[in-house]
């Protein structure tokens, strides 16, 4: 990280002093995807505004806080609200929450987000299990990370999403009789929504959904040695002559899908060894 080591130590120490929880699992929440507070035992809520040097999200539907607690028998930390590259933030700030979670001990991260559906067989409200991704953000979070072991910078991204976690997600969805789509996610910067021509081009590339997050977090998580599972809530389907898109609609659809997303995550966490 480009943050100084002194600042990083102060940030991690400030967070660790607020909770005795030492999570093994991190969860990143997308637009409108807030968890039910009753899911966690002994929850500790820590707003980003209470953490020194910490950036605060400026986008609706992203509260900007950590929630620590016990889910089932696992200690977890939930990042409710993410920071985005399109906010004009450098990646060291966008990915700071993930870096802090790693310093606190997570080995697995479950990333959720809202995405536009490119696959015509999808429907708004579907949950897509991300099998792989295409990075068209024109930027990479590892640029400038050269320090220490330079060889560690060249991360193998053939299979960025953990195969065992994907299999567990599929079997958990079957057990819950929850419909789970699968597909390729394409990341672009936003904040504008895609043109019809771009959507057509993305479809020819093999993308099933498109969004403005997930990819940098996945790349950085793999750089840190964290296993990744990603779930995208399909908030709209791109079709000609559709109604105009709005962020309010995206947040609303995310909120409607949150119950199913966290029900699935709860089943996965309960079965995770």
Phi-psi region of 176 (alpha: psi -120 to 50; beta: other; left: phi over 0): alpha
Which structure tokens are listed for 268? 């996965």
Asked if the peptide bond before residue 264 counts as cis, ω within 30 degrees of 0, the response is no
> Which domain, by its residues, includes 140?
21-271
Predicted pLDDT at 21: 94
Contact of 130 with 41, CB cutoff 8 Å? no
13 falls within a domain: no
What is the model's pLDDT at position 131? 98
Q: Phi and psi at residue 113, in whole multiples of 5°?
A: -160, 170
Q: What's the total number of domains in the chain?
A: 1
Flag whether 16 is in a domain.
Answer: no
Contacts of 132 (CB under 8 A, 6+ apart): 159, 160, 161, 184, 185
Asked if 169 and 178 touch (Cβ cutoff 8 Å), the reply is no
Between helix 215-224 and helix 96-104 the angle, nearest 10°, is 30
Q: Residue 9 falls within a domain, yes or no?
A: no
Query: What are the angstrom distances between the C-alpha of 237 and each of 60, 67, 125, 129?
Result: 21, 32, 10, 16
* pTM flag (> 0.95): no
In a domain, 3, yes or no: no
Q: Residue 97: inside a domain, yes or no?
A: yes
Give me the active site residues, please. 31, 62, 84, 86-87, 114, 212-213, 236, 247
| N-term to C-term CA, the chain | 30
pLDDT at position 241: 47
Q: What is the pLDDT of residue 165?
A: 98
State the Cα–Cα distance between residues 81 and 254, nearest whole angstrom: 12
- CATH code for position 183: 3.40.50.1580
Query: What angle, rounded to 10 degrees, do the helices at 96-104 and 5-16 form?
Result: 60
Range 254-259, long-range pairs (CB < 8 A, 24+ positions): 254/30, 254/31, 254/32, 254/33, 254/61, 254/114, 255/32, 255/33, 255/34, 256/125, 257/33, 257/125, 257/127, 257/233, 258/32, 258/33, 258/34, 258/35, 258/36, 259/36
Whether the Cβ atoms of residue 130 and residue 214 lie closer than 8 Å to each other: yes
pLDDT tens for the chain, 273 residues: list them.
566 788 889 999 999 999 999 999 999 998 888 888 789 999 999 999 999 999 988 776 678 999 999 999 999 999 998 999 999 999 999 999 999 999 999 999 999 999 999 999 999 999 999 999 999 999 999 987 755 555 567 899 999 999 999 999 999 999 999 999 999 999 999 999 999 999 999 999 999 999 999 999 999 999 999 999 999 999 888 875 466 777 677 777 767 788 899 999 999 999 998
d(CA 189, CA 266): 30
Phi, psi of 45 (to 5 degrees): -100, 125
Asked if the structure places residue 6 within a domain, the reply is no
Any domain includes 1: no
Give domain status of residue 15, yes or no: no
């Amino acid at each position: 990280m480009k943050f100084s080591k002194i600042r990083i130590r102060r940030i991690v120490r400030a967070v660790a002093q607020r909770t005795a929880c030492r999570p093994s699992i991190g969860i990143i929440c997308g637009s409108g995807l807030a968890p039910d507070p009753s899911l966690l035992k002994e929850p500790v809520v820590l707003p980003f505004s209470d953490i020194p040097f910490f950036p605060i999200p400026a986008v609706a539907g992203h509260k900007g806080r950590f929630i620590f607690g016990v889910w089932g028998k696992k200690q977890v930390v939930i990042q409710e609200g993410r920071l985005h590259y399109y906010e004009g933030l450098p990646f060291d700030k966008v990915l700071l929450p993930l870096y802090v979670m790693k310093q606190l001990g997570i080995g697995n991260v479950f990333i959720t987000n809202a995405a536009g559906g490119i696959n015509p067989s999808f429907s708004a409200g579907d949950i897509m299990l991300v099998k792989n991704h295409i990075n068209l953000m024109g930027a990479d979070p590892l640029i400038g990370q050269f320090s220490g072991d330079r060889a560690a910078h060249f991360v193998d991204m053939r299979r960025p999403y953990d195969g065992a976690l994907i299999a567990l997600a599929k079997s958990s969805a079957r057990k819950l009789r929850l419909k789970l789509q699968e597909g390729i996610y394409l990341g672009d910067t936003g904040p504008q929504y895609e043109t019809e021509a771009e959507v057509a081009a993305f479809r020819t590339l093999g993308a099933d959904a498109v969004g403005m997050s997930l990819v940098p977090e996945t790349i950085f998580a793999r750089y840190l040695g964290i296993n990744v599972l990603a779930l995208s809530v399909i908030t709209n389907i791109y079709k000609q002559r559709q109604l105009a898109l709005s962020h309010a609609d995206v947040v609303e659809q995310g909120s409607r899908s949150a119950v199913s997303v966290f029900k699935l995550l709860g089943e996965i966490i309960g079965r995770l060894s």
